[in-house]
Chain A
Amino acid sequence: MKRFLEFLSPLLRVDAGADRVVPPSGFTVRLTVFTAAAMAFLTVFALALSLASGRLAQTWGDDLARSSTIRISAPAGQMAAQTEAALKVLTQTPGVESARALTTEEQKALLEPWFGPGLPIESLPVPQLIDVAETSEGFDSDGLRLRLQAEAPGAVLDEHNRWRRPLVAAAGRLKLLGWVSILLITATTAAMVTLAANASLAANAQVIEVLRLVGATDGYIASAFVRRYTVRVLTGAAVGTVAGLLAILLMPGSNDAGGFLTGLRFEGWHWFWPAFVPPLAAVVAFAATQGAARRVLGELA
């Protein structure tokens, strides 16, 4: 950041001479500032989207993926034996941290929301549930399934992350899309500045001719345009970033009910990310105008 400011300082220096040699052009100024603001606003949202889906993918992937359930459906007589066999298989399976058969009370509690209290669970063919916690490496679920089939044919391995996996993938994809959007916005900004600078350079062919006649170098002429566009884009992007941040601030904070949508706000140090948007825009404008100026000045030679 400090190096960046050092790089910017010659651009921001008040050097009336160099800036005044290019005639002011009110309308395109406002268009450039507006576009830069809009692009910065969009970038802040893309950032929020990307960071939020990144967080989501992480949480879902992390805490939830570590537990699975084994469900044993067997005739009442074999239930205890199969549960015993399944637990034994589990203790021998690498990657299983712990496995525990749910007690009748716990199963009752799970079913209560659906069937109401006082369910005579003992007399119903309710499957026995085994809660399995994984180590961080995880177990080989196909291998486990095969062994369960042999030892406890009534056991069904139910991995929660089977349904969660596509969601984690989607969140990861969303995060990627956010970054791709930021790249596209950056490229669009570069294209926009190039177009504006090209038009401005072409419109000022006589100015360039006069400057050359009195001994101005290409670098001097280019910097007059470059500085102007860099400052405009920096200004616009700063306004757009602040507006984007305000819009995100106005979104409700994350809570359990809202899930993803309310999690769109930045969290912690992520709030600092948008601070990079205006400098990034300025760098893009600088490079784009520099390129356009070099090209046009070469053609006008």
Chain B
Amino acid sequence: MIELNNVAYSYGGDALLNDITFSLAPGSFHFLTGPSGSGKTTFLKLCYGALLPTEGDIRIFDHSAKDMGRDAVAYARRRIGVVHQDCKFLDHLPLDENIALPLTVSGQATPDQVANLNELMSWVGLTGKGDALPPELSGGERQRAALARALIMSPDVILADEPTGNVDWEMSQRLLRLLIELNKMGKTVMIATHDLALIRAAKAQVSARVLRISNNALQSAGVDL
């Protein structure tokens, strides 16, 4: 689905990521860990075409990211649900419209999807918050809303950057279960997180691979957890 070949990235100075080769297989479940500032968010941004590699090549759904125009990137995004670390919304629109935004911009807002929306909102524990404006929500509520927005299009790939950073243990378990369910339905999932307990909990339920960024490189950290 997404392939990185000898990818390097730098924000201008020294390379932040170096010589990364990785392939995100369909239906796989990955965790991405690493110290703060190691480049997890950067790695995810490369995966959804928000950043172009300074060296090497990234293929997103079999298209080279370098050759994708902005429209092609936009269409690819409709198949990739992204949860940003700093969940940004359209602050002037109520929450339900924000969550339905991917449907709106792709011209797919139908009554069916509205039922879908309500179900999704109850899954992430936001029932009754549909009319609230994003700035009125707590950090955890925003995070769950961002996850709901990433899932509304039923994307093939879900890239979540610290999706459980601001929620309590129980809610994080609930969100994890949602992502595992989706993975069992065939979705490809990658979660960047510091939360080792979350990773352990997941490994009990699904065969997840754990990747670790350290010293600018991507390593497999499978067994030592």
Q: Point out residues on A near B: beta carbons under 8 Å.
A: 17-18, 20-21, 23-24, 206-207, 209-220, 297, 301
Contact = CB atoms under 8 A, between A and B. Distances in A.
Pick from A21, A213, A218 the residue with the most CB of B within 10 Å: A213
Interface stretch (B70-78, B162-170, B177-185, B190-198): B70-78
B221 interface: no
A215 B102 contact: yes
B113 to A, nearest CB: 12
Interface of B: 50, 70-71, 74-78, 82, 84, 88-93, 97, 101-102, 104-106, 109, 149, 153
* Pairs of residues from A and B, 5 with the lowest C-beta to C-beta distance, nearest first: A215-B77, A216-B105, A215-B78, A23-B92, A214-B102
B42 to A, nearest CB: 16
Contacts of B84: 213
B14 to A, nearest CB: 25
B78 A213 contact: no
Pick from B88, B90, B109 the residue with the most CB of A within 10 Å: B90
A17 B104 contact: yes
Given A214-B105, A215-B76, 9 more contacts: A17-B105, A17-B109, A20-B97, A23-B91, A211-B90, A215-B78, A215-B153, A217-B105, A218-B71
Given A17-B109, A20-B97, A218-B70, A207 B104 contact: no
A209 B105 CA distance: 13
Contacts of A214: 77, 101-102, 105, 149
B74 A216 contact: yes
A21 B71 contact: no
Contacts of A297: 70
A21 B74 contact: no
Contacts, number: 61
B73 to A, nearest CB: 8
Contacts of B77: 212-215
Contact of B105 (A23, A24, A206, A220): A220
B67 to A, nearest CB: 15
A49 to B, nearest CB: 45
Given A215-B77, A218-B71, A21 B105 contact: yes
Contacts of B90: 21, 23, 207, 210-211
Contacts of B76: 215
Contacts of A207: 90
A interface: dominant SS: helix
A301 B70 CA distance: 8
A209 B109 CA distance: 21
A277 B212 CA distance: 64
A210 B88 contact: yes
Nearest to A300: B70
B48 to A, nearest CB: 8
Nearest to A21: B90
A297 B73 CA distance: 14
Pick from A17, A24, A212, A214 the residue with the most CB of B within 10 Å: A214
A217 B74 CA distance: 5
B72 to A, nearest CB: 9
Contacts of A18: 104
5 contacts: A18-B104, A210-B89, A215-B76, A215-B78, A216-B74
A20 B109 CA distance: 14
Contacts of B78: 215
A53 B74 CA distance: 55
Nearest to A17: B104
Contacts of B88: 206, 209-210, 213
Nearest to A23: B92
Nearest to B76: A215
Nearest to B81: A214
Contacts of B149: 214
Given A23-B92, A210-B90, A215 B105 contact: yes
Contacts of A24: 92
Contacts of A215: 74-78, 102, 105-106, 153
Contacts of B74: 212, 215-218
A211 B90 CA distance: 9
A176 B104 CA distance: 49
Nearest to B73: A212
A204 to B, nearest CB: 9
Nearest to A218: B70
A21 B70 contact: no
Contacts of A220: 105
B124 to A, nearest CB: 17
B183 to A, nearest CB: 21
Contacts of A21: 90, 93, 101, 104-105
A21 B70 CA distance: 19
A194 to B, nearest CB: 21
A214 B50 CA distance: 12
